[in-house]
Amino acid sequence: MRTDTPQAIYLKDYTPPAFLIETVDLDVAIETGHATVTAALACHRNPAAADPSAALVLTGEELKLETIRLDGRLLGQGEYALCDDRLLIHAELPESFTLTTVSTINPDGNTQLSGLYRSKDGYFTQCEAEGFRRITWFLDRPDVMAKYTVTIHADKAQFPVLLGNGNPVGAGDEEGGRHWAKWEDPFRKPSYLFAMVAAKLDMLEDWFVTKSGRKVRCAVYVEPGKLDQCGHAMAALKKSMKWDEDVFGLEMDLDHYMIVAVGDFNMGAMENKGLNIFNTKYVLARPDTATDIDFQNIDRVVAHEYFHNWTGNRVTCRDWFQLSLKEGLTVFRDQQFGMDMHSAGVTRIQEVRTLRTAQFPEDAGPMAHPIRPASYAEINNFYSATVYEKGAEVIRMIHTLIGKDAFRKGMDLYFARHDGQAVTCEDFVAAMQDASGLDLTQFKRWYNQAGTPKLVVRGAYDAATKRFTLDVEQLYPATAYEKRLEAEGKPVARGAYHLPLVLGLLDADGRELPLRLAGETSAAGTQRVLSVTEDRQSFVFEDIAAAPVPSLLRGFSAPVVLDYPYTAAELTHLMAHDSDAFCRWEAGQRLATDILTAGIAAYQAGDGDSLAWIPTTYADAIRALLGSAFAPGGDPALVAEALALPSEVVLIEATDGTVDPDAIHAARLALRRHLARELKGPLAAAYHELKVDAPYSPEAQQAGARALRNACLGYLAEIDDAESRALVMTQFDTADNMTDTMAALAAIAQFELAERDDALARFLDKWKDEALVVDKWLMVQSTARAADTGQRVRALLQHPAFDIKNPNKVYALIRAFCAANPKHFHAADGSGYAFAADAILQLDAMNPQVASRIARAFDRWRKFDTHRQSLARVQLARIQSQNGLSRDVAEVVGKALD
């Protein structure tokens, strides 16, 4: 029985590998019930190894070793040893040699979806982070880079398509109705980028001509019958290729670029060299099956994986502690792409929302870690919001501090220095520092320190001197991460961050003031990037005629919590006048949060329903906001973002002290209903005005109109009278695109109306053969606030439309319930916690990565009242005491209970 957190490994213990592998020759024969893998590894001692006589130790997981040869000679007993997941070579080794192993694996029984596994129409691989060892014995670490060839054999009728990384170099038929294909990747790569596919798939083909005239074949492979759903992904791929040339001068380097979609996949997608493997969710889309957000996500994920070809593949990570080297940078790049392709303001707002929903809670909970952790137990647990999203924020701060041109020079220098290498985050920062001349020594604290810093800013205006002074203080108390390392005797030094504070000052008419800092001879622009480096620091602005309203942290220039004592009037002023879209939105979110905080307290005091906590002017501010969408230059997409009140998850995080999920839910709902009643006329008018008549397109303008129209529908539905019900049902029955259908269905699912079951049944009946649409059907129910949601979700576990082996289904039903439906997950009777624990235990035996992701729902259990805490603790302890619990879940639960 396990009692605590599994053994950690430490960044400081990194040593270079004892051996290197030049080439890997794989032969994979897929048979019924098993696969035979022959691997010939051309190895030699690493001259840079710490111990020149170290033994050769290969890693393998769930492999049955058949034979092993050294330069062709069969090794006998005593010349090697198998111990746990290791294969130790005792035989004497020459300087260089070829080691050939033959192993049998069981892809059909591989429910973890790591290594080679079966999914409906064929066989697929997933090797990041440590899946290659589940295919063959290897030095399965990213600093071992080799050239690969792979020959795949399989039944020709069942698996007509055989794919590998790089270029096809041969193919043919074999007896027994089988065939083979050989692929060769001309680039050296780490094992985590290996991929192969043997499946029955349809293919969409297109061509991209690179800036230097290379003709690249682009291919998207999907389940038979789904070719009409791949056009958007293909277009996104070609846009990404063009963008990376235009913005970073980076060109595609292979003749083939393939994307294969698979329905069973733990993550979003994987950047295997020349052979990306994608979750179908990020490939398949048609106007009637996918929402605007789905289309947008496809753009972003396709771009992300494509951008990895340079940031990740050409230059990769030395070790997994450096994961953010490729992920933070590549997320930053896909975000920039998103800002260029869609609305920059909306894109940025959505990113900040993701950060606050997923990363801030992580940084404040038991799994807190810096973007480059110093230790971990299970690497799969560190494909985290911190490594990805905060990692991207850190890159963005470098971009802001040194500017776009220096950043581009830094990228060029990074590739000039490190192309073909496996490097560290320091190497990246060094390139940026050398290219820009800005000292980034202090900045590197972002790589080592965990936690969301708080920036306490106070403004003081002095009419006599016409000066406006901003006092800035940073707070960065130690997190669970630092406390653990301290207890382990491995303390982390902490100190003030270096961060860009982008700001402007607004006068009483909403005009931007010219900015002259003390010591400067003349004003320079109306927006400045202040470099904050001290624990406490002051910035003085001269020639300010009257007390201004500061517009702070423009574009969310640093991943911090800003504490500035804005009055409601100042926030309304910023909402109306700030030139920065993020700050306008942020002012609205703050105003709503302040009101909701009062509402939550009122509900706790038993006086919430009086609505006395809602200022009478609030509805007017929102009316003005709604109206601004129709004014010249108005942006419905931005207004739609601004109409959304902060989510319950964000409000939980914003709570100081004990969280009351029922009061949060009640206050938020009451405010929504209040706005709906007060603004019924304008909401209905906007709803009708925003109707899109043109044929569906996912492009930004149409999508923005739909977003605002559906936001209006959501509010109108809160009124819950015959009129609003008719509106919702009419939209549900007549919509010609999934965006509008889902908006209506979501409104229907909120209420326990007679229409609900009928609408859900009709929807399922229509879409039962489209797996991704069935996921939407599950999710709309698991995230509903209806009182019976808990029971319904439990019942859905037994529904034929659900499949616990499929990660997308688990995420739609179980994770969405646990992570995005706090009212029900934190039910006071403990039913949500018990449900989660049951699911985690059941999943852990099949797919620990997925189980572990569900377990993260318990991260914030200590923020709740003692009653809920005791209920959560019981479930966490029950999970922890399970025999044979995976390292993935053991780490999460162990840290939660620490």
Within 10 A of 564 (CB to CB), how many other CB atoms are there?
16
Closer of 300 and 709 to Zn ion (Cβ): 300
Closer of 299 and 327 to ligand PHE (Cβ): 327
Choose from ligand PHE, Zn ion, none: what does 818 bind? Cβ within 5-8 Å by kind: none
Within 10 A of 41 (CB to CB), how many other CB atoms are there?
24
**Shortest distance (Å) from residue 132 CB to ligand PHE:** 12
Choose from Zn ion, ligand PHE, none: what does 396 bind? Cβ within 5-8 Å by kind: none
Closer of 306 and 618 to ligand PHE (Cβ): 306
**Shortest distance (Å) from residue 283 CB to ligand PHE:** 13
**Shortest distance (Å) from residue 305 CB to ligand PHE:** 6
Closer of 320 and 566 to ligand PHE (Cβ): 320
**Shortest distance (Å) from residue 268 CB to Zn ion:** 8
**Shortest distance (Å) from residue 276 CB to ligand PHE:** 9
Choose from ligand PHE, Zn ion, none: what does 796 bind? Cβ within 5-8 Å by kind: none
* Burial of residue 851, with CB atoms counted within 10 A of its CB: 0-12 exposed, 13-18 middle, 19 or more buried: buried
Q: What's the angle, vertex CA 233, arms to CA 232 and CA 237, rounded to 5?
A: 115
Closer of 373 and 453 to ligand PHE (Cβ): 373
Among residue numbers 330 through 369, which ones bind Zn ion (CB under 5 A)? 330
Among residue numbers 310 through 329, which ones bind Zn ion (CB under 5 A)? 327
Picking from 336, 333, 352, the residue whose alpha carbon sits closest to that of residue 344 is: 336
Distance CA 265, CA 119 (A): 9
Closer of 330 and 359 to Zn ion (Cβ): 330
Choose from Zn ion, ligand PHE, none: what does 267 bind? Cβ within 5-8 Å by kind: ligand PHE
Closer of 304 and 824 to ligand PHE (Cβ): 304
Closer of 330 and 336 to Zn ion (Cβ): 330
**Shortest distance (Å) from residue 45 CB to ligand PHE:** 30
Distance CA 886, CA 851 (A): 9
**Shortest distance (Å) from residue 383 CB to ligand PHE:** 5
**Shortest distance (Å) from residue 299 CB to Zn ion:** 15
Closer of 151 and 330 to Zn ion (Cβ): 330
* Cβ-closest position to ligand PHE: 267
* Burial of residue 251, with CB atoms counted within 10 A of its CB: 0-12 exposed, 13-18 middle, 19 or more buried: middle
Known active-site residue 66: no
**Shortest distance (Å) from residue 208 CB to ligand PHE:** 20
Which residue's entry shows tokens 């894109």?
347
The 3-class secondary structure across 168-236, one letter per residue, is: EEEEEEECCCEEEEEEECCCCEEHHHCCEEEECCEEEEEEEECCCCCEEEEEEEECCCCHHHCHHHHHH
**Shortest distance (Å) from residue 67 CB to Zn ion:** 37
225: left (phi over 0), alpha (psi -120 to 50) or beta: left
Residue 698 contacts residue 292 (beta carbons within 8 Å)? yes
Instruction: List the beta bridge partners of residue 257.
Output: 218
* DSSP assignment of 436-475: H----TGGGHHHH--S--EEEEEEEEETTTTEEEEEEEEE
For binding to ligand PHE (CB under 6 A), which residues are involved? 126, 128, 267, 269-271, 304-305, 327, 383
Distance CA 619, CA 614 (A): 9
Distance CA 663, CA 668 (A): 8
Choose from Zn ion, ligand PHE, none: what does 653 bind? Cβ within 5-8 Å by kind: none
3-state secondary structure at position 479 = coil
**Count of residues that interact with Zn ion, criterion CB under 5 A:** 2
Closer of 330 and 347 to Zn ion (Cβ): 330
How far is the CA of 471 from the CAs of 535, 537, 548, 842, in angstroms?
11, 6, 15, 53
Torsion sign (Cα): 481, 483, 489, 492: positive
Distance CA 382, CA 378 (A): 8
Which residue's entry shows tokens 């039910």?
827
735: left (phi over 0), alpha (psi -120 to 50) or beta: beta
Token pair recorded at residue 124: 């697929």
Distance CA 855, CA 852 (A): 5
Choose from ligand PHE, Zn ion, none: what does 126 bind? Cβ within 5-8 Å by kind: ligand PHE
Token pair recorded at residue 867: 């009653």
Q: Which amino acid is residue 848, in one-letter code?
A: P
Catalytic residue selected from 61, 130, 223, 305: 305
Distance CA 505, CA 458 (A): 14
**Shortest distance (Å) from residue 265 CB to ligand PHE:** 8
Distance CA 384, CA 407 (A): 25
Residue 106 contacts residue 62 (beta carbons within 8 Å)? yes
Distance CA 841, CA 702 (A): 44
Among residue numbers 401 through 420, which ones bind Zn ion (CB under 5 A)? none
Choose from Zn ion, ligand PHE, none: what does 128 bind? Cβ within 5-8 Å by kind: ligand PHE
Closer of 267 and 406 to ligand PHE (Cβ): 267
Choose from ligand PHE, Zn ion, none: what does 383 bind? Cβ within 5-8 Å by kind: ligand PHE
**Site for Zn ion, rule CB under 5 A:** 327, 330
Active-site residue list: 305
